[in-house]
Amino acid sequence: MPETALAGTDELVVLVDDDGRELGTAAKASVHHEKTPLHLGFSCYVFDAEGRVLMTRRALGKRTWPGVWTNSFCGHPAPGEAVMDAVHRRARQELGLSIDGPTCVLPDYRYRAVAADGTVENELCPVFCTTAAGPVRPVPNEVMDHAWVPWAELRTAAALRWAISPWAAEQIPLLEAATYTDRGPNSSVSSAKPSR
């Protein structure tokens, strides 16, 4: 794993163009502002054996969307790090969680969202689904609360839009359209991999 993946405030993100081609890197601490450049990220939805989804509430110390309920976890691949490796790394770093078989369900998802304070998120953000392979042990400076939620409740929260993060509100109906079963998105339906 690249050293920058664990460097905290020195963490680097990968800047990309509209076609997903790498343009360079920038310090994560410097990219989230009113003119956030497009960069590579990812989102992941963790399911349990009963088909419930792990939702997390972002810690109050987070730079973007502090205290907001969102998907299981998000992150940024480090320069030279495969997105799949970054998904496993962030599951451990944020949730102390091992995961089984992440599958990229929405490889080309992209979003731009503006927070109340003017901070912009601007990401090319492949979306993964996976299953938990152990207990959740959230890291307090990343996650202040968590809950296992039935898919129907997520659908309701996404429709309200203000109840969860803007990216989760967009991703949930897209996941449902792409892979829905009676127990929520089925990560085995898609074997698509992000091209980045």
29's enclosing H/E stretch is helix 28-31
**Sequence-separated (6 or more) residues with CB below 8 Å from residue 103:** 128, 129, 130, 187, 188, 190, 191, 192
Structure tokens at 81: 């790090």
Q: Active-site residues: which are they?
A: 74, 123
Task: Give the number of other Cβ atoms within 10 Å of residue 137's Cβ.
Answer: 11
SS3 158: helix
Task: Say how far apart CA 73 and CA 91 lie, in whole Å.
Answer: 7
